[in-house]
Structure 1
């Protein structure tokens, strides 16, 4: 399931983030890639220890917790602090699959990457190329949304960032461990939740709202892992 979450950040908020990122201390992105992924990765990243990365990452985490569409799509149990990337000069990230397990900084615990996410921080007219291309069981999806949009997609998917042939592509990316590991079950719950919200909006007193809500929570109770 690929979900576009529009305007996670406003244009003014993105402008403020970009002003900081444009003067940041970028490093070779290959240093954080696995052995195989490093062969197809050509970008720059902020070090996880960089105070700017930590400051902006915390801003993203706080906004995610206030975004019902992200919560409905991801059913997040834990989220890895976001990282930040810069693509320019034909920079790209070829076909790869994300690591299945990531250490949670400073906790001694680990996160299973059920869900990957990319927050776009450049508008499409600022750069050529740079599409996020995702292949999953429902086909191939190409995403290049407006700055401030978040794309959520399966961590198990094969995906890539097309070469950036003009301009600069800034983005944040992170991984989420879901209470419901199965992408098929998450999709069913997401669709059911959307149907409940639609029915409740059109017919708030309809008795089926409570029935479907009960079904939703009983499925979540049955399928979730804590």
Structure 2
């Protein structure tokens, strides 16, 4: 189903149009806790990074995805990408009246992005990558 959703968007007129061969890595379950919940008192966040990396499999990452599993159960923890010099936040928590549980955030793996600090509760998401021939 994940690959179907990715290909469905990727091949649309307004999609990315990347050549996707499949999913070469299993997805990862991510957990980010507010500092008062973390056993070491550390803030749950993920600093700026890109998902393309060295090695035979990470170098083939073309599209990254994050599926929101419990967006109404935490505060903070926004997904933020860098577009030019601007930070663009995907409002994924109770800031909206729409239930975003199960929503997939899909973006090119070379885009700089992060998860902001969770300030209350615990954020769960499923992240993974669609693969194809390397961009270079």
**Pair 1:126–1:143, CA change in 2 (3 A):** same
Q: What does residue 4 of structure 2 align with? A: 66
1:133 aligns with 2:80: yes
1:87 aligns with 2:36: no
TM score, norm. by length of structure 2: 0.69
Of the three residues 142, 150, 161, the one matched with 2:89 is 142
Q: 1:102 to 1:172 in 2, by over 3 A?
A: farther
The alpha-carbon deviation at position 87 of structure 1 amounts to 0.6
Verify: 1:120 aligned to 2:68, yes or no: yes
Partner of 1:97: 50
The equivalent position to 1:169 in structure 2, one of 102, 115, 123, is 123
Long gaps (5+) in structure 2: 35-42, 93-99
Q: Confirm or deny: 8 A CA contact 1:117 1:175 kept in the other structure.
A: yes
Superposed CA offset, 1:12-50 (max 9, x none): xxxxxxxxxxxxxxxxxxxxxxxxxxxxxxxxxxxxxxx
Counterparts in 2 of 1:152 and 1:101: CA distance versus 1, 3 Å: farther
Between Structure 1 and Structure 2, the one with more strand by share is 2
Q: How does 1:168-187 map to 2 (within 5 A)?
A: 168-178=122-132, 181=135
* Structure 1 CA distance for aligned equivalents of residues 21 and 85 of structure 2: 25
Between structures 1 and 2, the one with greater helix share: 1
Q: For the structure 1 residues 138 and 88, does the alpha-carbon distance in structure 2 shift closer, same or farther, using more than 3 Å as the test?
A: same
Question: How far apart in 2 are the matches of 1:153 and 1:144?
Answer: 15
Q: Distance in 2 between matches of 1:140 and 1:78?
A: 30
CA RMSD of aligned residues (A): 2.6
Q: Is the 8 A contact 1:65 1:71 kept in 2?
A: no
Moved over 4 A (4+): 101-104
Q: Is 1:64–1:71's contact at 8 Å kept on the other side of the alignment? A: no
Tell which structure's C-alpha radius of gyration is larger.
1
Q: Considering Cα pairs closer than 8 Å and 6+ residues apart, tell me whether 1 or 2 has the greater RCO.
A: 2
